[in-house]
Chains A and B, each alone.
Chain A
Amino acid sequence: MQAFQQNLKTLEAADTQVLGVSMDSAFANKAFADQIKVTFPLLSDWGGKVTHEYGIYKDEYQAPRRVNFLIGKDGKIMEEQVDRDAIDPKKIVDACARPRLKD
């Protein structure tokens, strides 16, 4: 999350909204956001419905895997990062720096 916060200006300049998602409660997520100084919304998928719909629920964690999706203005997925690869969001930040995202 902090990696996205550090790149927030680049992402916002490319018309990109960052949304964190976990299965924690909305209130826990707000406390977490304050603690790690994240200013974008951390959404609560309480019960895990959306996590299941995206096919990323992991039994071992009883929680989502770490996954980043970049979704274009047309609603289609443009980039994905999964598990260890999702720790550094460089691929997504770089994609946002490409001019076609502005359209």
Chain B
Amino acid sequence: MHRRRSAILAALLLAGLLTTSALFAQGKKDDPGMPKVGDVAPDFTLKYFDGNDLKDVKLSDYRGKKNVVLAFYIFAFTGG
């Protein structure tokens, strides 16, 4: 009887551990982390308004032609 109870306890503990680690793994999946120096920059197509038209800018269009500075900023109208 006693042995059976500890077996159940062990099973519960194991289940808890598995759930926790699964949650951690999922958290990592949501945030891939920043690409590092030497990594290929993820490609994208984004829009900008030149005053007349909405235009698409595709990162890979610069491949082999120009270096690109990507400057992410927090919000427009907040300095910097």
Give the B-binding residues of A (Cβ under 8 A): 1-4, 11, 14-24, 26-32, 35, 41-46, 49-57, 61, 63-80, 82, 86-87, 89, 92, 96, 101
Contact = CB atoms under 8 A, between A and B. Distances in A.
A76 B29 CA distance: 23
B57 interface: yes
B80 interface: yes
Nearest to A81: B71
B28 to A, nearest CB: 11
A16 B66 contact: yes
> What 9 pairs across the A-B complex have the smallest Cβ distances?
A32-B76, A43-B46, A26-B49, A16-B67, A30-B49, A41-B48, A24-B76, A64-B72, A69-B70
Specify which of A35, A42, A82 lies most central, judged by the most chain B CB atoms within 10 Å of its CB: A42
Interface stretch (B1-9, B11-19, B37-45): B37-45
Nearest to A42: B48
Given A43-B46, A54-B72, A19 B57 contact: yes
Interface string B61-80: 01111111111111111001
A35 B63 contact: no
B27 interface: no
B60 interface: yes
B69 A53 contact: no
A25 B66 CA distance: 26
A50 B60 CA distance: 14
Contacts of B47: 26, 43-44, 46
B10 interface: no
A32 B63 CA distance: 28
B67 A72 contact: yes
B49 A29 contact: yes
